[in-house]
């Protein structure tokens, strides 16, 4: 069993998509171990996305993720990290495959509805940031 961090980002929370997105996880054998709705500060967002601090979109990314409430989820299941990434689809929704969360719900590369840890190291770090501090 593996764990990963999922975020339902502010654009999806604002559009009442929490239930639809959680349903995708549950129907694909990912179990909700922890879940909470939280409005993070800009400082928290900057720490969460610190690996992107040199990228041109960093400022917009951090102000967006702290612009309204999001839902943080610890998902558990076999191969949970990769499975969640597959269910999410490509970062840019215009490139995401049919049936993926981003294809179904995302608005743009900025408002792309979900986050998922991309490795076991980032999963541990991100679960720690959201649920153990
Ligand atoms: P993810 O793992 O698919 O979410 O993608 P990354 O970890 O590479 O990037 C984190 C977030 O930054 C993405 O979900 C996007 O919202 C945003 N992002 C990534 N690349 C770009 C880009 O080229 N332009 C813009 N505007 N945003 C980006």
pLDDT at 34: 98
- Distance from Cα 4 to the centre of ligand 1, integer Å: 18
User: Is 115 labeled as catalytic in the residue annotation?
Assistant: yes
Task: Please give the average per-residue pLDDT across 32-61, as a whole number.
Answer: 98
Give percent above pLDDT 90 in the chain.
99
Q: Cα–Cα–Cα angle for 110, 93, 67, nearest 5°?
A: 25
Distances (CA, A) of 27 to 67, 75, 84, 87, 128: 30, 12, 12, 11, 26
Residue whose CA is closest, atom 13 of ligand 1?
91
- Distance from Cα 32 to the centre of ligand 1, integer Å: 24
Atom of ligand 1 nearest to the CA of 60: 26
Separation CA 45–CA 65 (nearest Å): 7
Asked whether the predicted pLDDT for residue 133 surpasses 90, the reply is: no
Report yes or no: 47 and 72 within 8 Å, Cβ to Cβ.
Answer: no
Task: Please give the average per-residue pLDDT across 106-123, as a whole number.
Answer: 98
Task: Decide: pTM greater than 0.95.
Answer: yes
Give the DSSP H or E segment for 63. helix 58-65
Atom of ligand 1 nearest to the CA of 90: 3
Catalytic residue among 9, 83, 85, 115: 115
């Amino acid at each position: 069993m593996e764990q990963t961090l999922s975020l339902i980002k502010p654009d999806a929370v604002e559009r009442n998509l929490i239930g639809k997105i959680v349903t995708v996880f549950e129907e694909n054998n990912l179990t909700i171990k922890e879940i909470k709705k939280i409005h993070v500060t800009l400082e928290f967002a900057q720490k969460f996305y610190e690996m992107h601090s040199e990228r041109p979109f960093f400022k917009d990314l951090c102000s967006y993720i702290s612009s309204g409430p999001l839902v943080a989820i610890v998902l558990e299941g076999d191969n949970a990290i990769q499975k969640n990434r597959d269910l999410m689809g490509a970062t840019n929704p215009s490139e995401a495959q049919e049936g993926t969360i981003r294809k179904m719900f995302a608005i743009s590369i900025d408002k792309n509805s979900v986050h998922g840890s991309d490795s076991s190291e980032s999963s541990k770090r991100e679960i720690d940031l959201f649920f153990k501090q």
